[in-house]
Amino acid sequence: MNGLVLKDLGRRFGAVDAVKDVNIELQAGEFLSLLGPSGCGKTTTLRMIAGFLAPTSGSIILDGVEVSSPRGSLPPEKRGMSMIFQSYAIWPNMTVAQNVAFGLNLRKLDKAEIRRRTGEMLEAVRLNALADRYPSELSGGQQQRVALARALVIRPKLLLLDEPLSNLDASLREDMRFEIKRIHDEFRITSVYVTHDQSEAMVTSDRIAVINQGRVEQIDTPYEIYTKPRTRFVAGFIGRTNQITGRRGAQGVDFAGFTLPGAAFTGSEPDVFISVRPQSLHLSAEEPVTDNALKLKGTIAGRAFLGETWDYVFRSDAGLELRITARPHEVYALGAPVWARASSDQVVQIL
Amino acid sequence: MTVDTHPPASARTRRLTHFRPDQLAWLALALTLAVLIIAPLSMLVVKSFTDGTTGGFTLENYVTAYGRARHVQALWNTLVMGLASTVLAVLLAVPTAWACTRTNMPGRTFVRIALFGSFLMPPYLTGVGWILLAGPNAGFINQAWTALTGLEAPLVDIFTFSGLVLVMGLSTFFTIFILVSAAFELLSTEMEDAANILGAGVFRTAFKITLPMAMPTILGSALLTFLVSIALYGVPALISIPARYPVVVIQLAEFFSFPVRIEVAAAYSIPLLGITIGLLLLQRRVLGRKGYTAVGGKGGERRVTDLGAWKWAVFGYVMLVVLLAVAMPLLVLIMAAFSHSWVSGLSLENLTLEHFRYVLFEHSSSQRALITSVATGAAAATLAISLALSISYVVQRRLLPHAGVLAFLCMSPFVIPGIVLAIGFYAVYALPPVGLYGTYIILILAFTTRFLPIAYTTSTNGVRAINPEMEEAVRILGGGQFTAIRKVVAPLLKRTLASGWILIFVPAAQELSTAVFLVGPHTRVVSVVLLDMSEEGTFERLAALGSVLLLIIATIVLIGVKLLGRDFMLRRS
């Protein structure tokens, strides 16, 4: 079986579980992001995949071969992987071309082959004009591309990226997101990308694993993660949302001012949590006639015009506050009486 | 693109757990440090309680060592001399440092370079220079005095307590100068401006603001200077005997003259070790974790104070320091080296190259000593820097458990005075069964130990500057730990390697305190030969050999400056 499997992977530091019971299966060619706040264990997971750190429980299986387990770890140099580091780790004592050719030299390919592949790769990252420069003469973005070229030129089984864009300034970061995406689409190398920036993860990834406190909260495509968050943490971490708490009752689940049919919800706990995105909610001056799942009467409690959208704070008569995003022409005055609604497929139950 | 060309992934994963080369490496490093540091130091203590003939336990050595009033007097004398010369060193160094860093005194760069010369000049050569200048009969100052006034009685006499203190202070004040200069340079001008605005003049500001802010550094460096001066051998060897002012190091040498009473010497050296360790611990206690950086505050612009007309007075004082410490002793030394007879002074018929010919081509022990000094210095520098680099790499990368112990051991020779270290080395390695007395090996090992702290500090700074991700990048691309060291770490450490090597070579090639008890008839180093020449009174030959040594060292330092930039030797503290 080709690909990467993390099975019940865990790592303890002293009494602290930095990573616990992580289960991920990665198909060949897939681009997966490990997304989470700092200190959540995503970098620890990446370093275990790379072989810099041994797990204290579980195992890592690469192309059907177990490479890490508490009994021992294959050293990083035997794994056929590549990694892009947060600091780029471009060797300052070598030129751009020497940096890129390094991995090929270690594989003892013949000179002509090394030169050809190095040249091709430099072209792919648009650095051929700078081949003989030293890293200190390059800009941050150029160094980033050297790191990318150096990692890709050996055609790794797996490419690991550790917050590679966090040292770049904002506009460059945006360009590089698409650059990484473009290069992945070109070479289809299986990749694991660690980041705390959700938009980076959304742009680059086939799937995102949201990690919190050492555990995987959800693994899904960016679209699924956004529209169908499974937990309160995921709903809150990816994009803005309204989280509403309800209680199971005789007629269904009662929320502040509205009731939803009990059949729509799983589980048996008395409390039920839902997430509704601000742009899934709509405002109207008249009472909506359609049979909406969520329908509330209230007033505009606050508003800000952001150019592309309106950002409203809606307060229901029962006192529930909701953030609602509206298009620029939907203008409501502060304090105006309005109705808010959302269709049932936009209401997501979260755990 | 398909997946190809990786190194074989066939290696089994379990392999690492059984074979632990890291434990072997730790053991090897720990063993080396045990040989260099633990064994000599513990043997020193053991020997001091051992009966020389029976080998049993005894307190007799302490009775012999401290049983005589003269021996106790030497201990007291050492403390008095140390204190006096430290006070003098502070008085020489602090105003000079202030003038060079905080004022618009003319010639600041010149003064710094000239004083750096005093750093390169070993204390025993400064001492010889001052014997030529202020010897009671023929010293140049006294000659001039007699010529001017017709009075026969000498004006100055170097062979007195004050002469001893003067040369001691002149030989040791550079440490204070360099550390205090660094502290002054960190001070923001705004601190002084604030005092000026409130109406304080230049000197009031200097005494009320600048000086107190640098006080922790001044006290710390004065303490170091005190410790250096009580353990220094070269200057007392030249001056304290004729001055009839016995000190500890001279008494130790007496225990080492035939018949060697190593046990008594060990017992007698314990206070020197105790004072050093005690004072450094006390300093740590007092300064806490602030160390020398109590000055703080990098912000704010730095601008020099305008001294107005006073700048010439300050310039005069600083020039006096330069004259006394470097210019005068160096000048008379060079003059003597080119003179038939140094007493006759400067004249055309007195000029000769005879002494250079003699020490370089005729006098076999001079030739040999030059080679020995350069070779043992180079070997010790190479050994110390390799050992220190391996250990600081292991410590910084946390490659081995308990690496902190190795780091602590590396720094520990800092508290062992050179002469005490030599006695320890003698006690373990000189005599049978090891029997290294009179070999190059014992000298090289002792020098390596002596300068290990410098090597370790330099190495740690170098290794710290390398991001571990640089090496991880090698590993993940298919290179092992050793490939990472060879291709990335070593090239990046080249500068550290070179500057550390020179930093050790320079003092090692001049070392006297550690060498004096360990040299054999065929392994005498230049410093020891120079001392013999001064006892024989052949000052012209001494001056010639000393000049050659200075020339070699200056050349090495100049090469270092050329390769590594101007301030590489001064950055270590």
DSSP B158-223: SSSHHHHHHHHHHHHHHHHHHHHHHHHHHS-HHHHHHHHHTT--HHHHIIIIIHHHTHHHHHHHHH
Asked whether B557 and B120 are in contact (CB, 8 A), the reply is: yes
Rounded to the nearest 10 degrees, what angle do helices B248-256 and B69-102 cross at? 130
B5·A154 Cβ contact <8 A: yes
**A230/A232 Cα distance (integer angstroms):** 7
Q: Chain B residue closest to A84 (CA)?
A: B473
Residue partners of A38: CB distance under 8 A and separation at least 6 = A196
Query: Which of B1, B469, B488 has its CB closest to that of A85?
Result: B469
Tell me which of A62, A78, A163, A192 to substitute to probe the interface with B (most B C-beta atoms closer than 10 Å).
Answer: A78
Inspect the interface and report whether the beta carbons of B11 and A74 lie closer than 8 Å: yes
B59-298+311-348: CATH superfamily? MetI-like (1.10.3720.10)
Residue of A156, A164, A190, A163 whose CA lies nearest to A78:
A156
Residues contacting residue B454 through CB under 8 Å, at least 6 positions apart: B384, B500, B503, B504, B572
Q: Which amino acid is at B230?
A: I
Nearest residue on chain A to B490, judged by CA atoms?
A93
Strands laid side by side in the A207-212 sheet: A81-84, A158-162, A191-195, A31-35, A207-212, A215-220
Nearest CA in chain B to A81: B476
Give the closest residue to A181 by CA, choosing from A201, A198, A204.
Answer: A204
Q: How far apart are CA A19 and CA A209, in angstroms?
A: 13
How far apart CA B21 and CA A11 sit, in angstroms, is: 24
How far apart (Å, rounded) are the C-alpha atoms in residues B516 and A334?
A: 93
CA-derived radius of gyration, chain A: 25
| Nearest chain A Cα distance for residue B468, angstroms | 8
The conformation of residue B342, written as its DSSP 8-state character, comes to: G
- Assign residue B199 a region: left if phi > 0, alpha if psi is -120 to 50, beta otherwise? left
In chain B, which residues have their Cβ closer than 8 Å to the Cβ of A52? 472, 475
Is the Cβ pair B9, A156 closer than 8 Å? Answer: no
Give which of A49, A67, A77, A116 to mutate to test B binding, by max B Cβ within 10 Å.
A77
Beta carbons within 8 Å of B201's beta carbon, 6+ residues apart: none
ipTM of the complex model: 0.81
DSSP track, B437-490: TTSHHHHHHHHHHHTHHHHHHHHHHHHHTS-HHHHHHHHHTT--HHHHIIIIIH
Question: Residue B163's closest CA among B185, B187, B142, B186?
Answer: B142
A126-140 pLDDT per residue, tens: 888 999 999 988 888
Element (H, E) at A23: strand A16-26
Tell me how far apart the alpha carbons of residues B271 and B255 are, in angstroms, rounded to a whole number: 16
Spatial contact of B192 and B381, defined as CB atoms under 8 Å apart? no
* Closest chain A residue to the Cα of B12, Cα to Cα: A74
Contact status, residue B205 vs residue B195, Cβ threshold 8 Å: yes
Distance, in Å, from the CA atom of B359 to the CA atom of B544, rounded to the nearest integer, reads 7
Whether the CB of B487 is below 8 Å from some CB of chain A: the reply is yes
Burial of residue B186 (number of CB atoms within 10 Å: 0-12, 13-18, 19+): middle
Residue of B nearest to A66 (CA): B13
Distance from B139 to chain A by nearest Cα, in Å? 57
Using only C-alpha atoms, what is the Rg of chain B? 26
Residue from B300, B318, B312 nearest B192 by CA: B300
DSSP code string of A282-346: EEESSPP-S--SEEEEEEEEEEEE-SS-EEEEEEETTS-EEEEEE-TT----TT-EEEEEE-GGG
Compute the nearest-CA separation of A94 from chain B (Å). 9
Of B85, B89, B39, B45, which Cα lies nearest the Cα of B413? B39
Find chain A residues with C-beta within 8 A of B13's C-beta.
66-69, 71-74
Spatial separation of the C-alpha atoms in residues A148 and A180, rounded to whole Å: 8
CB B250 within 8 A of CB B241: yes
The CATH classification of domain B21-57+353-573, taken from the options 1.10.3720.10, 3.40.50.300, 3.30.70.270, 3.10.20.70: 1.10.3720.10
Residues of B in contact with A102 (CB under 8 A): 474, 477, 479, 487
Tokens of A332: 């409501």
Query: A with B: how many residue pairs have Cβ under 8 Å apart?
Result: 117
Give the separation between CA B331 and CA B323, rounded to whole angstroms. 10
Q: Label the pairing between strands A4-13 and A57-62.
A: antiparallel
Contact check, Cβ <8 Å, B477/A71? no
Any idea of the CA torsion for A249, A255, A261, A263, to the nearest 10 degrees?
Answer: -70
Q: Which of A222, A223, A152 is nearest to A184 (CA)?
A: A152
Chain B residues with CB-CB distance to A108 below 8 A: none
Amino acid A22 reads V
Contacts of A234 (CB under 8 A, 6+ apart): A210, A217, A218, A225, A350
Chain A partners of B6 at a C-beta cutoff of 8 Å? 79-80, 107, 154, 156-157
Residues in chain B within 8 Å Cβ distance of A63: 9
Enumerate residues 5 to 24 of chain B having a beta carbon within 8 A of any beta carbon in chain A: 5-9, 11, 13-17
Strand bridging mode A191-195 / A158-162: parallel
Question: What's the confidence (pLDDT) of residue B569?
Answer: 60
Return the residue in B476, B482, B483, B486 with the most chain A beta carbons within 10 A, the one to mutate for interface testing.
Answer: B476
Question: Would you call B472 an interface residue with chain A, using a CB distance cutoff of 8 Å?
Answer: yes
pLDDT of amino acid B292: 42
Given a contact cutoff of 8 angstroms between Cβ atoms, the answer to whether B330 and B117 are in contact is: yes
- Tens of pLDDT along A251-271? 788 888 788 887 778 887 888
Q: How many CA atoms lie within 13 A of B436 on its CB side?
A: 16
pLDDT at residue B191, as a whole number: 66
Looking at the DSSP assignment, which residues form a beta bridge with residue A340?
Answer: A283, A296
Whether A156 and A97 have beta carbons less than 8 Å apart is answered as: no
**pLDDT tens across A216-247, in order?**
999 999 999 998 999 999 998 888 899 988 88
Residues A301-345 have pLDDT tens digits of 999 999 899 999 999 888 889 999 999 999 999 988 999 988 888
| Long-range contacts formed by B146-149: CB under 8 A, 24+ apart | none
Are A77 and B477 a contacting pair at CB < 8 A? yes
Predicted pLDDT of residue B298: 47
Residue-wise pLDDT for B45-80, tens only, equals 888 888 877 777 888 788 887 888 888 888 899 999
Residues of A with CB under 8 A from a CB of B: 50-52, 62-63, 65-69, 71-83, 85-87, 89, 91-93, 102-103, 106-107, 109, 150-151, 154-157, 160, 187-189
How many of the other CB atoms lie within 10 Å of CB of B140? 20
pLDDT per residue over A104-121, tens digit each?
A: 999 988 999 999 999 998
Ranges in chain B annotated CATH 1.10.3720.10: 21-57+353-573, 59-298+311-348
DSSP character for B359?
A: I
Least CB–CB distance from A79: residue in B9, B472, B474: B9
- Predicted pLDDT at B353: 80
Q: CA of A69: which chain B residue's CA is closest?
A: B13
The Cα B491–Cα B489 span in angstroms is 6
Q: Could you say which of A72, A76, A82 has the minimum Cβ distance to residue B15?
A: A72
Q: Which residues contact B555 (CB under 8 A, 6 or more apart)?
A: none
Residue A30 pLDDT > 60: yes
Nearest CA in chain B to A28: B3
Listing DSSP states for A208-274 in one string gives EEEEETTEEEEEE-HHHHHHS--SHHHHHHSS--EEEEEEE-SSSEEETTEEE-GGG--S--SEEEE
What residue has token string 């392999």? B15
Indicate the SS3 state at residue B377. Answer: helix
pLDDT digits (tens, 9 = 90+) for B176-198: 998 888 888 877 667 677 777 77
Instruction: Say whether residue B278 is in contact with chain A using an 8 A CB cutoff.
Output: no
> Any bridge partners for residue B333, and if so which?
none
The residues with which B555 forms a beta bridge, in sequence order, are: none
Q: What is the mean pLDDT of chain A?
A: 89
Strand segments, DSSP code E, in B356-467 are: none
Are residues B14 and A91, on separate chains, in Cβ contact within 8 Å?
no
Decide if A99 contacts A146 (C-beta within 8 A): yes
Residue A136 C-alpha, separation from nearest chain B C-alpha, in angstroms = 13
Residue B291, pLDDT score:
43
User: Would you state the structure tokens that stand for residue A108, as one six-digit string?
Assistant: 């003892």
Give me the helix-helix angle, B161-186 and B69-102, nearest 10°: 40
pLDDT at residue B12, as a whole number: 40
pLDDT at residue B376, rounded to an integer: 93
Please choose, from the candidates A291, A230, A293, A296, the residue with its C-alpha nearest in 3D space to the C-alpha of residue A263: A293
The list of chain B residues with pLDDT below 50 reads: 1-19, 289-298, 571-573
Q: Which domains does chain A have, with CATH numbers?
A: 4-228 (3.40.50.300), 240-350 (2.40.50.100)
Report yes or no: B473 at the A interface, CB cutoff 8 Å. yes
Phi, psi values for residue B417, rounded to 5°: -60, 145
Tell me the C-alpha distance between A119 and A101, whole Å: 9
Whether the CA torsion A275, A279, A285, A286 is positive or negative: it is: negative
